[in-house]
């Protein structure tokens, strides 16, 4: 059963510095509304166009953590994949993500500690090839030794 759950996962023994993965997602109004509902963050800069037009953003923006969640999706689904456990994540928000923006979330392996099963990943999100979020994640990667 565990073998089936880890299919497509890259185990710590197979991870190499420089490996990378990404995903693309167009952020919709529904995504923003659902994130507000789940997170209970109903800040009008995300939900009210009239309010948001009067802010420095000049319109509605997605929650920063919604954008950051795309990094989590790459890590949890692709690199390393299923069975990965987050240990930490730094985030620096560089620009807004708006409804209709296509976001590319990218992660790249920068360091591996095989003895501790830890992987350090450079993380970023881009809109129109411009970085809107950068950071670094540390994760506990799955291992074949625990199959």
> Average pLDDT by consecutive 10-residue portion of the chain (147 residues)?
61 97 98 98 98 98 98 98 97 98 98 97 98 98 81
* Contact criterion met (CB below 8 Å) for 110 and 134: no
Q: Where are the domains of the chain?
A: 2-27+63-146
| Encoded tokens for 49 | 């166009």
Closest CA to 11 of 107, 73, 83: 83
CB-side neighbour CA atoms (13 Å) of 87: 11
Q: What is the model's pTM? A: 0.92
Please count the other Cβ atoms lying within 10 Å of the Cβ belonging to residue 93: 15
The DSSP output letter for 18 is T
Quick check: 23 and 105 in contact, CB under 8 A?
yes
Residue 140 has what pLDDT? 98
2-27+63-146 has which CATH code? 3.10.129.10
pLDDT of residue 146: 64
Where do runs of H (alpha helix) occur along 13-77? 29-39, 44-47, 49-53, 64-77
Distance CA 40, CA 28 (A): 18
Where b means 16+ CB within 10 Å and e means fewer, 10-29 reads bbbeebeeebebbeebebee
What is the DSSP code (8-state) at residue 85?
Answer: E
Determine the pLDDT at residue 6. 56
Please give the pLDDT value at position 7.
63
């Amino acid at each position: 059963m565990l073998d089936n759950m880890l299919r497509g996962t890259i185990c710590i023994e197979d991870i190499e510095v420089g490996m990378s993965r990404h995903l693309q997602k167009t952020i919709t109004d529904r995504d923003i509304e659902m994130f507000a509902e789940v997170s209970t963050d109903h800040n009008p800069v995300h939900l009210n166009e009239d309010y948001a037009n009067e802010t420095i953003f000049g319109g509605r923006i997605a929650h920063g953590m919604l954008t950051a969640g795309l990094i989590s999706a790459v890590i949890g689904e692709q690199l390393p994949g299923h069975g990965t456990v987050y240990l930490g994540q730094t985030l620096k928000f560089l620009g807004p993500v708006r409804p209709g923006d296509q976001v590319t979330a990218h992660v790249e392996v920068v360091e591996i500690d095989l003895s501790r099963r830890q992987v350090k990943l450079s993380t970023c999100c881009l809109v129109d090839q411009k970085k809107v979020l950068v950071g670094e994640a540390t994760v506990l990667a799955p291992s074949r030794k625990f199959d």
